[in-house]
Structure 1
Amino acid sequence: MPILQTDTKKVKVKNKKFTLNLTERKKEQIAGYLYISPFFILFSIFGLFPILYSFYLGFQKWNGLGEMEFVGLRNFKLIFEDPLFWKSIYNTFIIALMGTLPQLLVAFLLAFALNSALIRFKNFFRVSFFLPNVTSIVAVAIVFGTLFTNSETGLVNALLSLFNIPPINWSTNEWGVKIAISSMVFWRWVGYNTIIYLAGMQSIPNELYEAAKIDGANLRQQIRYVTLPMLKPVLIFTIFISTIGSIQLFTEPLVFVGRAMREEGITVVLYLYREAFVNNAFGTASATAIVLFLIIILVSTINVLITNRIGNTK
């Protein structure tokens, strides 16, 4: 009997320890959830809820003040029948191609040059290239608006006059607006992508380049068979981010074109803004946002598929 009592006491002590450990573990879990909860609460309020509410508004007719009226797919029909909507999509993709593709190529070349041993004062160039990214977008747009002014004395028109090219009305000309906005996008983001590419290149072991040189690889072959395959994750990231950013272009065309929102420079997001805050048509604006969301998914998927083929040696 005494032995049984002792065993019973041991079992009780073990149960108490197990219960105590389990309680402490729960406390740690609860504390962990409390620490990360602010992010999810803020994201739910300012991120998830607006997204879901936009999908709801896409099927409603609402001017922002009165009662909502369910109209089904009518909002989508209205924007698809609007020539200005298709013009905004065309402008968005043209500006994206003109501003993003050269930007990524130049950023890659600049990063490759900064990663080589031939360039001196590398820290100075890194800071200089990255400075445009920390500059206010509005300030950049105002400066470029001054450079691309319609006046003959504007800097760009003055440079063109040296080659006997007549002055261009940059704010009204079909291609002049696109060139000006693309120049802003290029100047602002080329330094950011340069730093990203440089960080990726510096993580590539130097032994790979030395082995390639021993095998007789020239500079072009080193880039193709060493740099590009090792830099593929960084390439996917920059192309993905740059594509989404170019499709969501808003501030640059708004400041450069102005509240007139001429069709030469209107983008999809600017069209969305016009529908919501100028025409007070939040239903068609939300429908535009849904279409833009689907376009971004489609273009991003195509970009990832294409980027995955970069650096393949087959």
Structure 2
Amino acid sequence: MVYSLYLAFQRWDGIGVKTFVGFDQFRFLLDDPTFWLALRNTLVIWVMATFPMLFMALALAAMLNSTRRLTGFYRVAYFVPNVTSVVAVSIFFFSAFSDHYGVVNAALQAINLPEVPWLNNEWTIKAVIAMLMTWQWTGYNMIIYLAGLQAIPTEVYEAAKIDGAGPVRTFFSITVPMMRPIILFTLIISTVNGLQSFTEPQVLFGSNAANNPNSGGPGQAGLTTLLYFYHQAFDNNNFGYAAAIVWAFFLVILLFVIINWRVVQRGRKV
């Protein structure tokens, strides 16, 4: 980590002599439109994936906690995507969402709906990556939420039922407030993992050079910050600038973690 920070202040192609350039790499980064595009793509994909994923995980955990039948089977079934190879899953999603031969478009045609250019449109590209991440991490968060739900005393729910509270009111008035520390944990972990999306767009759209307009898909819609870092380091051999990118991105992730922490803690005080 210290060496990568040192590299951020050097111009180096990985082989030749390093040249000290001070803050020039960071100044260039601030004026680099591709970096800001990659950062924007990363944040949009994170929003599209994280919040639906956490909501579905909590809802599934609540439903699973209310039943005693086949709980072991459901735990394994929902957790399997998390331990499945991301590369294999990405290849499957690429085939399923293929514009002309994918299973998804075939299903749409079967019910007389038009095909969707999943991998050739700015927003559908982000949606496919977000769906892949949601499918992979929902079960992981569900297991954590389930453990938290099982620690809530049943007397609290029984008292709410006696007072006439329905399932929806119980969920938002009892379950969510008592699960706040665990929700904070999953939100921080999901933020760190979600903002570091790399394998999904790299497999879906290939390892094209950063100056290629199709890197990350048409219009660079799937170019994430870490994918841009990878291109600069290993395609362009620009290791100094790549180090500057990754350190700037580290500060972005740290900022989001601090915001998540403060928002949840403020909600607890209220």
- TM-score, length-scaled by structure 2: 0.91
Name the amino acid aligned to 1:248.
Q
How many angstroms does 1:132 deviate by?
0.4
CA contact (8 A) 1:228 1:311 kept: no
CA contact (8 A) 1:157 1:167 kept: yes
Could you list the runs of 5+ residues in structure 1 that have no partner in the other structure? 1-50
The residue matched to 2:78 in structure 1 has which SS?
helix
The residue matched to 2:69 in structure 1 has which SS?
coil
CA RMSD of aligned residues (A): 1.6
Correspondences of 1:96-115 after superposition (within 5 Å):
96-115=46-65
User: Who is 1:169 aligned against?
Assistant: 117
Would you say 1:54 and 2:9 are equivalent positions?
Answer: no
CA contact (8 A) 1:225 1:311 kept: no
1:277-297 CA-to-partner distances (Å, cap 9, x unmatched) read: 001111110110111111011
User: Who is 2:92 aligned against?
Assistant: 143
Distance 2:206 2:107 in 1: 25
Distance 1:311 1:305 in 2: 10
Correspondences of 1:50-199 after superposition (within 5 Å):
51-117=1-67, 120-151=69-100, 153-162=101-110, 164-199=112-147
Q: How many residues are treated as equivalent by the alignment?
A: 261
How many angstroms does 1:311 deviate by?
6.3
Higher relative contact order (Cα pairs below 8 Å, separated by 6+ residues) = 2
Between Structure 1 and Structure 2, whose CA radius of gyration is higher?
A: 1
219-228 or 277-286, larger mean C-alpha shift: 219-228
Correspondences of 1:228-247 after superposition (within 5 Å):
228-247=176-195
- TM-score, length-scaled by structure 1: 0.79
Percent identity, aligned pairs only, is: 46
Name the amino acid aligned to 2:63.
A
1:15-72 CA-to-partner distances (Å, cap 9, x unmatched) read: xxxxxxxxxxxxxxxxxxxxxxxxxxxxxxxxxxxx1111111111011111111111
The residue matched to 1:271 in structure 2 has which SS?
helix
Could you list the runs of 5+ residues in structure 2 that have no partner in the other structure? 209-214
1:242-286 CA-to-partner distances (Å, cap 9, x unmatched) read: 001011111011000111223111100000001100011111101
1:176-211 CA-to-partner distances (Å, cap 9, x unmatched) read: 211111111010000111111001100111111112
